[in-house]
Structure 1
Amino acid sequence: MRPHLAWSVRPLAGLLAVALASAVAVLAAAPPAAAHGTLAVSTPAEGATVTEPPAAVELYFTEKVASNAYFTVTAPGGGRVDNGWSYGSPKPLEKPVREYFLVGGKFEPREYSTGFPAVVALAHLPAVGQYSVSYLSVASDGEAVRGTMSFRYEGGPTPAPRGWSPPTNQPDPALVAAVEQHGTSGHGSTSSGAGAPVAAATSVPPAAAPVAESGEEGGPGWLAWTGWAVAIAAAVAGFVGWRRRPAPAARARTSAGPSRQRGGSRPGGKGGGRGTAGRKATPAGPSASSGKGGGARKAGAEVTAESAPASAVDDAAPATAGGLSNTRLALLAGGLVVALLAGFGLGRMGTGGGSPAGATATVPAGGASGPALSAGDGHQHPAGTGPHSHPGDASAGQATGTAVSASGYTLQPAQRAQAAGATADYTFRIVGTDRRAATRFVVVHEKPLHLIVVGRDLSGYQHLHPTMAPDGTWSVPLKLARAGGYRIYADFSVTSADGSMLPLVLGVDHLVPGAHTPAALPSAAARASVGPFAVSMEGTPTVGVTAPMFFRISRTGAPGPAQLERYLGAYGHLVVVREGDLGFVHVHPEPELVDGAVKFWLTAPSAGRYRAFLDFQVGGKVRTAEYTLDVP
């Protein structure tokens, strides 16, 4: 008899009950994000094709835009065709828009059934093709409201009014300051390509999956209900299995091991499920183990129902009044938690938590185990995605790479210098808060990690793709011809603790010793020559506003556009770096050519000079066109 049996079981049972309750609470409460003043609908609609020239674009928001709101309309050739804007008359929305507000620490939904239009006049429509509309405003609560939408015009060209010239105005500095002061990304268009609605009927949180389509508005998909059904069934099965437990005489006995621990518990590791090396709890019969987060134990001595020696009975889990041992209680609780997590996971799959169409699910190089990761986030965004912040971004400015560490991850190079003209094996690790090298990366733009090298004078650009060893060490041959300072950026995405994709750009300095004279930044120009190719740039970068940028590539002396090949999942890859602090600017590519051009969405974080590097591929060879951008 051991007099403290009942005392030892009750705290354990209480702790397990608290754990179960916490798990249920966490799974049941996916907090929505606030989204205020969003764009609800537009005329023409997002992705629509019109044949008659519209006199204006009407954008209907869930509240009246600020008086100093900023709007642009860009024609296929990259020139602006907007001619001022004005308020319109509110009208009922055919489908209400739900937004969330944080009230007393809880998110409360509000539905908006009235659209407040901003009418952006069009001076003329000079060509057939895609017209892009960008907007920037501030909501009544201070949230930034910015984004983009596009429509296609298939009618005849219309002349510009007599004496009219394309506008060159920039956003009101007070508007830009208000956006930056709030320090948020705003809530722009949620469009995902041609034909997609401008705004969803329900604004959903970034950390939670979008609501799937179903018979009822805002209801979960059938997979969500299936997931919860699986969870309930698993819980019932676990309870039934416990009720059919063997007689007390057949309880598990523990074989001798290097250490002994009361109650069958093990110290948890990452995710709360991995234990340290020791004994492995297994039921009688075939061995069973759970996956990540489900209570897996490393190999060691085992607990069995048949073979344990009688001398080990003191280490066996003590019995409860009802005959339930601590070990069985822990297994039952763990099973219920796993069932809940599995059901939640299936539910997330049914509510849009999976990969978008065309995304590649992968387990990255290095043999990392666990569920596959998909490129559902990172820097691979749907066409027309509005500006938003990524962890490590400089406030709302979206200039990343100025820090070596962000969101608990640090770029650790093995060396910080090399000789000029020599090829060195550049090695580094991405280290997390646990001081261990990360090994699980999301494939974005067809690669798990992109390494960008730029001189501090914005020369010497290189775009490299290192390989990762199983221990998380990345390596790539690197040759730097000129002496001087360089900035090396690691552009990658990992999976955060809540299962969402965490995109990061970390930067570190690198030195090539020797005499160095910085190269002067070339003057801004809209045309660049790269070997036998001429590349023209169209569009106007604008502070704080998502502006479309077009690049047209032709072979010198040959008619028509060059036959571009896909490179990194699109027909071009654009890197933009700010002069001075070498901020790495966030850019969104369109996956397909638009009117024969490679199109990107660029948000200039501030006035100043930038260097843009366009990578494109023809005939299996990647070339780079370079531009200087002056943003007033």
Structure 2
Amino acid sequence: MRRLPQTCGRVVSGLLALLLASAVALLASVQPAAAHGTLAMSTPAGGATVSEPLTSVQLYFTEKAAANAFFTITAPGGIRVDNGWSYGEPKPLDKPVREYFLVNGQFEPREYTTGFPAVVPVSHLPAKGQYSVSYLSVASDGDTVRGTLTFRYNGRVTAAPQGWSPPSTQPDPALVAATEQHGSSGQASAVPTAAVEPAAPPSAAAAAPPTGSTDASGPGALAWVGWAVAVAAAGAVAGFVVWRRRSASTGKPAGRGRTSSATSGRRGGGARSTTRTGAGRTVGAKPSAGKVGAATVAQSTGDKRRPTTVPAARKGNAVVTARTGVAVDPTATDAATKAPATTVGAATVEADPRPDTDLAAVTPGSRMSNTHLALLVGGLVIALLAGFGLARIGTGDERQAGGVAGPPAPGQAESATDGHQHPAGTGPHTHRGDGATGETLATGTTVSAGGYTLQPLERSQPPGVRADYRFRIVGTDRQPATRFAVVHDKPLHLIVVGRDLSGYQHLHPTMAPDGTWSVPVTLARPGGYRVYADFSVTATNGTQVPLVLGVDHTVPGAHTPTALPPVQAQATAGPYAVSMNGTPTVGVTAPMHFQVSGDPTTPVQLEPYLGAYGHLVVVREGDLGYVHVHPEPELVDGSVKFWLTAPSSGRYRAFFDFQVAGKVHTAEFTINVP
């Protein structure tokens, strides 16, 4: 096999150095989750089944909840049964929780073993079924603390206290303002002193990792092992590059094999011997023309080596070693480019090799071939990537460690804005943008977000005329996007609603190979409309990024706005009556229940529609913000359940789609969030 030239070696060294630098930059860019004040455990535990009546729910956080924190407990019928809250006595956590703090530009882990409870009294238990507990607070460093857990109660029903009325309170405006100051970057921001009660710093026992801990099975251990493997592989790559370059420059043996060098000497301009043998074979003796002396060959004897002179004979222009009988032609086609050889003692010496002479040739004793090099580099790269992967897995697990189990949450989408279309069963969860601003929780107010732009090909159409609405989703490369994730059984959902929140339509366009979407639309009334493209794309790390882009559409003619209907808990959709129960709350993930009923003698059999038993679109009056909603995949206590996070006070219009006997119906509700 032809050996690696020196220039190629330098290129490989440069590429390895570039790979090392890129890997280090990549590893450094991966930051652990910097959550603070997280929920560590609860009583009852999330997902638990309770058989005996309970009078309160205890939520244990890694630090004291803010003095103006907000908590709700919602019964199966959508009625709140919470009755204020108070601090409880701290207690040891069932499992330590690790959080990360930014110290001098680096994230440092800190483990907590003590939980600080918030005790939320339960006024009564009006029904058996699933109860939901939601919370909103701000940590001492300004991070938003928001979440929901559920438990199932199958014990006896308890009566409400005399004069009891379900609470309809909303979070303290100072608390909402504090959560809005927390940017989507995940870094702490300034918090009004009135919004958060300063939490006592964790004790030494709680703040420091347990001394002498030997638990290596947890996600934290996996992460650190991954980082160690990655760093070790990176160091090995760096060491290999330095080793090869030093070996090439000094001419010292680079291997442990039996190969040894000829006796060398130097004269004048640094000439050196190129006579080399390995395993008893002369591989490169280059005597000067017309003279061949005795080649000096190193003979291995155990761990010692002694030079032995082996007679050599000449046959024409070839030198034949007496030891092996192998002829080597010293007059290669490029011999004219070599410097004249000089005799030093009994060995033939010539000038330094050309710049493209292989590294093995100038490194006496080296057997490193291209195959060995490729195998070594490949192994190091695989180790580096494996370590990086382990670290990412460990870090991802750490983000979920310590949390209380609630409705399933497959993952968190990381995007500039968050949309509505999450797979059924995503349940209540937070996004990187949650709590940044009210506009973040209500999307669709802009034509561009997350690097994508909604580009309509038509901006208006006549009233009452069926016309194709065509558009593209353009990426940052200004080319139409053609790859979308299928969510709720469709790659893209198109929502059309009038600016007065009338004329709702939920459509599913088709995409041509060139990325142009089209769907027939009929708009009966003149006026302005908002068109939302609700879709998800797949990020480079494999996660789905939900986006909602919105653009205006016009139907020319005299427009008479329709007044928003009053708030009611009942609506009619075809032959069916639909009831809505729940208390939408600003900044809090609140459960909303929809119950469909028909003829009392014929129970309604809901059918799955778009991956769940219902679909909910909520639009805010005024700016037409498209609100963050998640459905449950199955019926919960006979109703269709959604998780709604209201971004602000105001009026909203909710459109609930459901399917019976193959036909889709829509029930519309007005929601008022004080």
On the 8 A contact 1:389/1:398 being kept in 2, the answer is no
Report what 1:218 is aligned to: 220
Report what 2:91 is aligned to: 91
CA deviation after TM superposition for structure 1 residue 401, in Å: 0.3
> 1: distance between equivalents of 2:432 and 2:529?
25
Q: 1:483/1:329 Cα in 2 relative to 1: closer, same or farther (>3 Å)? A: farther
Q: 1:72/1:85 Cα in 2 relative to 1: closer, same or farther (>3 Å)? A: same
> 2: distance between equivalents of 1:352 and 1:141?
21
**Alignment-mate amino acid for residue 504 of structure 2:** Y
Deviations 1:377-407 (A, max 9, x none): 9623745423435599855750100000112
The percent identity for this pair of structures is: 66
> 2: distance between equivalents of 1:341 and 1:430?
37
Q: Which among 341, 359, 362 is matched to residue 322 of structure 1?
A: 359
**Alignment-mate amino acid for residue 216 of structure 1:** G
Q: Which among 610, 614, 625 is matched to residue 583 of structure 1?
A: 625
Report what 2:643 is aligned to: 601
On the 8 A contact 2:83/2:121 being kept in 1, the answer is yes
Q: Which among 464, 473, 486 is matched to residue 443 of structure 1?
A: 486
Query: How many residues get paired?
Result: 503
CA deviation after TM superposition for structure 1 residue 485, in Å: 0.8
> 2: distance between equivalents of 1:606 and 1:573?
22
Deviations 1:455-511 (A, max 9, x none): 111111111112222222222222212211111111111123444332111101111
Deviations 1:386-437 (A, max 9, x none): 3435599855750100000112111111111112122222221111111111
Report what 2:574 is aligned to: 531
> 1: distance between equivalents of 2:662 and 2:435?
35
CA deviation after TM superposition for structure 1 residue 169, in Å: 1.5
On the 8 A contact 2:420/2:548 being kept in 1, the answer is no
Q: 1:394/1:162 Cα in 2 relative to 1: closer, same or farther (>3 Å)? A: closer
CA deviation after TM superposition for structure 1 residue 95, in Å: 0.4
**Alignment-mate amino acid for residue 631 of structure 1:** V
Gaps of 5+ in 2: 188-214, 242-253, 255-354, 362-369, 398-406, 411-418
Q: Secondary structure of the equivalent of 1:454?
A: strand
Aligned pairs for 1:269-348 within 5 A = 321-322=358-359, 339=382, 343=386
**Alignment-mate amino acid for residue 474 of structure 1:** W
On the 8 A contact 1:23/1:337 being kept in 2, the answer is no
On the 8 A contact 2:220/2:394 being kept in 1, the answer is no
Structure 1 stretch 150-159 or stretch 28-37: which is displaced more?
A: 28-37
On the 8 A contact 1:536/1:551 being kept in 2, the answer is yes
CA deviation after TM superposition for structure 1 residue 440, in Å: 1.8
Does 1:379 pair with 2:422? yes
Report what 1:543 is aligned to: 586
> 2: distance between equivalents of 1:427 and 1:521?
29
**Alignment-mate amino acid for residue 462 of structure 2:** A
**Alignment-mate amino acid for residue 434 of structure 1:** D
Q: 1:582/1:29 Cα in 2 relative to 1: closer, same or farther (>3 Å)? A: closer
Q: 1:622/1:338 Cα in 2 relative to 1: closer, same or farther (>3 Å)? A: farther
TM-score normalised by the chain length of structure 1 = 0.71
> 2: distance between equivalents of 1:61 and 1:40?
5
CA deviation after TM superposition for structure 1 residue 518, in Å: 1.2
**Alignment-mate amino acid for residue 42 of structure 1:** S
Deviations 1:194-219 (A, max 9, x none): xxxxxxxxxxxxxxxxxxx9943434
Report what 2:611 is aligned to: 569
**Alignment-mate amino acid for residue 582 of structure 1:** L
On the 8 A contact 2:148/2:589 being kept in 1, the answer is yes
Report what 1:470 is aligned to: 513
Deviations 1:2-36 (A, max 9, x none): xxx97898477425522343135415763112101
Q: 1:502/1:600 Cα in 2 relative to 1: closer, same or farther (>3 Å)? A: same
Q: Secondary structure of the equivalent of 2:179?
A: helix
**RMSD of aligned alpha carbons:** 4.0
Q: 1:328/1:475 Cα in 2 relative to 1: closer, same or farther (>3 Å)? A: farther
Aligned pairs for 1:73-84 within 5 A = 73-84=73-84
Report what 2:538 is aligned to: 495
On the 8 A contact 1:89/1:116 being kept in 2, the answer is yes
Q: Which among 498, 501, 507 is matched to residue 458 of structure 1?
A: 501
Q: Secondary structure of the equivalent of 1:588?
A: strand
Report what 1:422 is aligned to: 465
> 2: distance between equivalents of 1:61 and 1:392?
19
**Alignment-mate amino acid for residue 438 of structure 1:** A
On the 8 A contact 1:185/1:388 being kept in 2, the answer is no
Does 1:482 pair with 2:530? no
TM-score normalised by the chain length of structure 2 = 0.67
> 2: distance between equivalents of 1:352 and 1:618?
44
> 2: distance between equivalents of 1:47 and 1:413?
45
Deviations 1:44-91 (A, max 9, x none): 111111111101001111100011111111111111111111110000
Deviations 1:264-286 (A, max 9, x none): xxxxxxxxxxxxxxxxxxxxxxx
Q: Secondary structure of the equivalent of 1:612?
A: strand
Q: 1:590/1:12 Cα in 2 relative to 1: closer, same or farther (>3 Å)? A: same
Q: 1:26/1:349 Cα in 2 relative to 1: closer, same or farther (>3 Å)? A: closer
Larger radius of gyration: 2
